[in-house]
Amino acid sequence: MTHSPFQVSRLDTAVESIRTRVTTAPRVALVLGSGLGDFADTLEDAVAIPFAEIPTMPVSGVQGHAGKLVFGRAEGVDCVAMQGRVHLYEGHPASDVVFGLRLMIRLGAKIVVITNAAGGANPRLDAGELMLIEDHLNLTGTSSLLGPNEDALGPRFPDMTAAYDLKLRELALGAASEAGFQLARGIYAGLLGPSYETPAEVRMVFAMGADAVGMSTVLETVAARHMGARVLGISCITNKGAGLSHGVLDHSEVTETANRVKGRFVGLLRGVLARIAKGEAE
Ligand code: HPA
């Protein structure tokens, strides 16, 4: 059988370079969306490696998405956090968009926590709410598995029936209620961006069953499932979707809401990690 060893060899080059600086294998990988980057700075015994210092790692140019991997411990769990991510709308191939996530899994992470900022497509969702992702619609028009399959990473046709792990979802709901708030639950639609949606597009995705819209996560979840990692996805609803509020959408609103909610979001992540440490994810 012929298949390109390209991704695998790139990943292993990156793994080799990281292992010269970090010897502990991470158990949990976190992709930190807008506003959550600070979480990485709270990891104990942290070792930060800028993307630019990792051979073969694609680098993002988006402002406010300074890219680095931060290794360290939180709530007794060895973690690696990706601060800043590469987006499809920057023009990177889908396989590059998920490279950082694949790398964290290749380094040993069995659980990935993927976070994002999203607009509410369901009129019942308000800015500032956190939403547990139960499932997704990949409306990016592409797949992170496009091209020859690399059998060393995963199967050609990975199952997506329970892309967002049920046990981890229950664990997150428990952690939220312990922290004193209710986590919304819903379906995340991932679009290409980078323009925000038209009001008609927001109504379309809601009619299709989505509760939130964003420009990330779905390709990452597909790649994680391809590699057999378990996924927990959480959206910070930073704004009502286009047409559902009186104003127009502006990136500053997204970052302001994300910053406002970050204390609660970080608390939730810590609650989730504490439960994982107690063995509740098994
Ligand atoms: N649409 C898409 N992506 C987003 C939004 C939105 O309304 N808010 C934050 N990220």
Residue range 76-99: average pLDDT? 93
Q: How confident is the model at residue 2 (pLDDT cuts 50, 70, 90)?
A: very low
Residue range 111-127: average pLDDT? 97
Report pTM: 0.95
pLDDT tens by residue, 172-213: 999 999 999 999 999 999 999 999 999 999 999 999 999 999
Return d(Cα 238, Cα 47) in angstroms, integer: 30
Q: What are phi and psi of 222, to 5 degrees?
A: -60, -45
Return d(Cα 202, Cα 135) in angstroms, integer: 17
Cα(238) to ligand 1 centroid in Å equals 7
Cα(26) to ligand 1 centroid in Å equals 30
Atom of ligand 1 nearest to the CA of 197: 1
**pLDDT(62) > 60:** no
Cα(15) to ligand 1 centroid in Å equals 33
Cα(117) to ligand 1 centroid in Å equals 6
Q: How confident is the model at residue 84 (pLDDT cuts 50, 70, 90)?
A: confident
Cα(32) to ligand 1 centroid in Å equals 15
Closest CA to 38 of 77, 64, 7, 5: 64
Residue range 57-69: average pLDDT? 72
Angle at CA 141, nearest 5°, toward 164 and 225? 25
Atom 10, ligand 1: residue with shortest CA distance: 118
For the chain, give the mean pLDDT. Answer: 93
pLDDT tens by residue, 5-36: 588 999 999 999 999 999 999 999 999 988 78
User: Which domains does the chain show, CATH number per domain?
Assistant: 24-277 (3.40.50.1580)
Q: Tell me the percentage of the chain whose pLDDT exceeds 90.
A: 85
The answer to whether the CB of 109 falls within 8 A of the CB of 11 is no
User: Who lines ligand 1 at CB under 6 A?
Assistant: 117-119, 196-197, 213-215, 238-239, 241, 249, 254
Cα(223) to ligand 1 centroid in Å equals 22
Atom 6, ligand 1: residue with shortest CA distance: 119
Atom 3, ligand 1: residue with shortest CA distance: 214
Picking from 160-164, 169-173, 256-260, which range would have the lowest pLDDT averaged per residue?
256-260
Atom 7, ligand 1: residue with shortest CA distance: 119
**pLDDT(3) > 50:** no
Best of 240, 249, 261 for a ligand 1 pocket test (most atoms within 8 Å of beta carbon)? 249
